[in-house]
Structure 1
Amino acid sequence: MNEFTILATLATIHFIALMSPGPDFALVVQSTAKHGRKAGLAIATGLSAGILIHSTLSLTGVSYLVHNNPALYSAVQFLGGSYLLYLGLSSLKALLQTSTLDHTETVPDTQRPLSSANKPLTPFFRKGLMTNLLNPKALIFFVSLLSSIVPATMSLVGKVSAMALLWGLSIFWFSLLAYALSTKRVASKVEQAGPFIDGICALLFTAVGVSILWHLLPF
């Protein structure tokens, strides 16, 4: 295949993977529904930065070395599984606290959470970055995708184009998702479904985290 065909194939497979439900997708939906468009866009930027790092490490062979080193790969799995489990349990805790507050008559102003407009965006960016970067399934995906499609003889321009393409599609899709969920027509419905979305996302993060950690058990 010529480099244009390689890039087109890479873009198609990656975009299909982006649209499939998973921790990245769930995080954008949850954050946008709960904290608004700016938070969702910050999450999208963080996720895309993680994808850029994954693609860079895969194309330079670093991820391949990690994947084929049992000790290093187990460490990545442990960190990733633990972080996703932490996200899931934190989301469940927040959901329970919100449910408890909803059943109280009044909440003092000093105890009310900051509006999304006043919240710093750096934590959301960091959350998106770490969610993607520490996901061992993302590491496997990029190692498998890039090693099977991108030949070692591909030019430097071609490899840089591949990294830019993966990043560009990621920031486009996740930002589009955050924007669509925060439009006036959709935002009110998303807000009403907030507790349901939080619950589903929390269960997804918890399930993926437990699944990853479970496979590390020595039996």
Structure 2
Amino acid sequence: MFTSLFLTIGLIHLVALASPGPDFALILRTSLHRPTALGAAFGIALAILVHATLSLTGISLLIAEHPWLFMAVKVVGALYLGWLGWGAIKAAWHSSAALAFKAGGEQQGWRKGVWNGLATNLLNPKALLFFMGLLAAMVTPQVDGLTRGLLVLELFLLSLVWFGVLAWSLSTPRAQRLLGRIQRPLNLVTGLLFGAVSLSILTGMAQQLTVLIT
């Protein structure tokens, strides 16, 4: 009965996953160390599972309807993404992979990768808005609890497979040789991407505050 719903949401989600953004940039940065990259992939998928669950249970809408609470989420998310961006820009000045990791304030390891992936996606308010808008528009009140749970599982598995394959592919010796040749500009572009997302969130907040004050 809900086959078309699963296909439509899955397709839209895949298109969103393929779009360049902070999640892709994080996998690219952590691909220097495969366990870290795979951990980041799992962390991102776990964050998407949380976003989807919050959206389908109405908690995301509750957060969005409370301006100061939503603003707090935005501030934390923007500052975290900005911090990641600054770390990547600092890493652009170092030539070796090991020095780049240290300069970026990053540590290698599965757990560290999971934490970075979870925080990067979960603290991104644009991800919160995406899932809230997508699921609110597609999932009607007639959709039962089991179907909602399967939709959450679908989004999680699609994310895990996509970012897992991406992390594995980018951490192969052949990919690393290619990435090694463009390491500095890659770190710079990654840092600028994180910085741009952070700045756009803060700019939007400043405009909202101006409207509220005036």
Tell me, yes or no, whether TM beats 0.5. Answer: yes
Q: Deviations over 1:15-63 (max 9, x none)?
A: 000000011111111110xx32221111100000100000000000000
Residues 156-196 of structure 1 deviation map (CA, whole Å, 9 limit, x = unaligned): 11011100000000000001111111223322111221112
In structure 1, give the amino acid aligned to 2:144.
S
Q: What is the number of residues matched between the two proteins?
A: 201
Q: Which residue of 2 aligns with 1:30?
A: 29
Q: How many Å separate the matches in 1 of 2:87 and 2:167?
A: 22
Kindly provide the CA deviation profile for residues 94-144 of structure 1, in whole angstroms up to 9, marking residues without a partner as x: 333x25x89xxxxxxxxx96xxxx943211110110000000000000000
Could you tell me which amino acid in structure 2 is paired with residue 29 of structure 1? L
> What CA deviation, in whole Å up to 9, does each residue of 1:64-114 have, x standing for no partner?
111121111111111111111111112212333x25x89xxxxxxxxx96x
2:119 equivalent in structure 1: 130
TM superposition score normalised by structure 1: 0.87
Q: 2:84 matched to 1:87?
A: yes
What is the rounded CA distance, in whole Å, between the counterparts of 2:35 and 2:55 in structure 1? Answer: 30
Indicate which of 17, 40, 43 corresponds to 2:40: 43
Matches within 5 A, 1:148-167: 148-167=137-156
RMSD over equivalenced CA pairs, Å? 1.9
- Residue 91 of structure 2 contacts residue 184 of structure 2 at CA under 8 Å; is this kept in 1? no
- Looking at structure 2, the residues matched to 201 and 170 of structure 1 have their Cα atoms a distance apart, in angstroms, of 21
Q: Distance in 2 between matches of 1:160 and 1:57?
A: 12
Within the candidate set 168, 178, 181, 2:167 is matched to 178
Give the TM-score of the pair, scaled to structure 2.
Answer: 0.88
| Alpha-carbon distance change, 94 to 198 in structure 1, aligned in 2, over 3 angstroms | same
- Partner Cα separation in structure 2 for residue 28 and residue 132 of structure 1: 12
Q: Specify the SS of the correspondent of 2:6.
A: helix
Whether 1:215 and 2:207 are equivalent positions in the alignment is no
Misfit runs of 4+, over 6 Å: none
The 2-side partners of 1:16 and 1:24 are apart by 14
Q: Which has the higher contact order (CA 8 A, sep 6+)?
A: 1
Aligned-partner Cα distance in 2 for 1:78–1:120: 28
- Aligned residue type for 1:128: G
Gaps of 5+ in 2: none
Larger radius of gyration: 1
- Quick one: distance in 2 between partners of 1:153 and 1:134? 30
What is the identity, as a one-letter code, of the residue corresponding to 1:91?
Answer: A
Structure 1 CA distance, aligned partners of 2:61 and 2:2?
Answer: 22
Q: Give the secondary-structure state (helix, strand or coil) at the position aligned to 1:215.
A: helix
Counterpart mapping for 1:66-145 below 5 A: 66-96=63-93, 98-99=94-95, 119-145=108-134
